Structure 1
Amino acid sequence: MPCCGERPPGELVKAVEEFNRGEWFECHETLEELWVGEKGELRDFYQGVLQIAVALHHWHNGNLKGALILLQRGGDCLLRVSSICLQVDVARLRDDAAGFLERLSAAGEERMAEVEPSLAPKLHLLSVNH
């Protein structure tokens, strides 16, 4: 059974690249294929990242409510995951998503478009020597 300590599969590396380019919908599609077949911690990991990607897609499209809900849900999923999973810095993603959630909440519907895209969370792959 796969676990968080393994190397990331190629599809996850592709999803990380999509996420970091702001291709959040595409990232969602890539991750969904991985998420469907998993159980336990890996399922929570994929679901959390997937929900944060969809949250950012909602924000980009002006849907504040959807963005806030999914940033919260994604962060909650990632609380059940190791701080590093499949070489992704989960702890940093959790913190960055929580900070972005606070920024969007403070900006509100009227000013959410003013939130700098550079402040959106990114996925960070760590190189781990085995």
Structure 2
Amino acid sequence: MAADRDRDAEGRARNARPRDASGRPLPYGAVGVPRSDDEDEVLPADEVLRRAQDLLDQDRPFDAHDVLEGAWKAAPPDERMLWKGLAQLAVGLTHEQRGNPRGASSLLRRGAETAAQAPEAASRHGVDLSALAGWAAAREASGPLAPGLVLRARR
């Protein structure tokens, strides 16, 4: 293992290179989009959904994925498929943003299907699985011309 790899306090590999809004690494010294460590922070579901939605509204699906992935990793077993599916939807948007329509289409479809495997968790957290599936299908068909992802009805 290379001694010059970026590591966090626990010794996990971290890439300290700056990144653009789509999560692509930029050269060292470049100015990138500020990153957060939300994926390592265990947040209540309402806060995860609020933060992820704020990031999606700012056209930052890569960062929304990080927040949703943190929830997925920390979730009880009966909720994991919901969070995994929502994270996949955000990755689908990241692929779209990076100019990869085939990858975007695949992940949007997979994300909606994965989230649909946790209907009780979705209901508990106010996530409308039918609306997500409809959104994913519309986005897959129309690409960026379709509306943005809404994780749950605005409260």
Q: What TM-score do the two structures reach when normalised by structure 1?
A: 0.72
Structure 1 residue ranges without an equivalent (≥5): 1-6, 105-114
Structure 2 counterpart of 1:58, from 95, 98, 104 = 95
Change (3 A) 1:12 1:124: closer
Partner of 2:153: 125
2:128 corresponds to which of 89, 93, 98: 89
Question: What are structure 2's unaligned runs of at least 5 residues?
Answer: 1-43
* Cα root mean square deviation, aligned: 2.1
**Given that residues 48 and 67 in structure 2 are in contact (C-alpha distance below 8 angstroms), is that contact kept between their aligned partners in structure 1?**
yes
Whether the 8 Å contact between 2:45 and 2:71 is mirrored in structure 1 is: no
Letter matched to residue 132 of structure 2: L
Shift of 1:119: 2.5
Q: Give TM-score scaled by structure 2 length.
A: 0.61
Q: Which has the larger radius of gyration?
A: 2
Higher helix fraction: Structure 1 or Structure 2?
1
Percent identity for Structure 1 against Structure 2: 25
Written as runs of structure 1 = structure 2, the 5 A alignment for 1:36-55 is: 36-55=73-92
Separation in 2, partners of 1:94, 1:85: 18
Helix, strand or coil at the partner of 1:44: helix
CA apart distance, 1:126: 5.3
Check conservation: 2:82, 2:116, Cα contact below 8 A.
no
Shift in CA distance, 17/42, structure 1 to aligned 2, threshold 3 Å = same
Cross-structure match for 1:8: 45
Tell me the distance in 1 between the aligned counterparts of 2:90 and 2:125: 17
Match of residue 63 from structure 2: 26
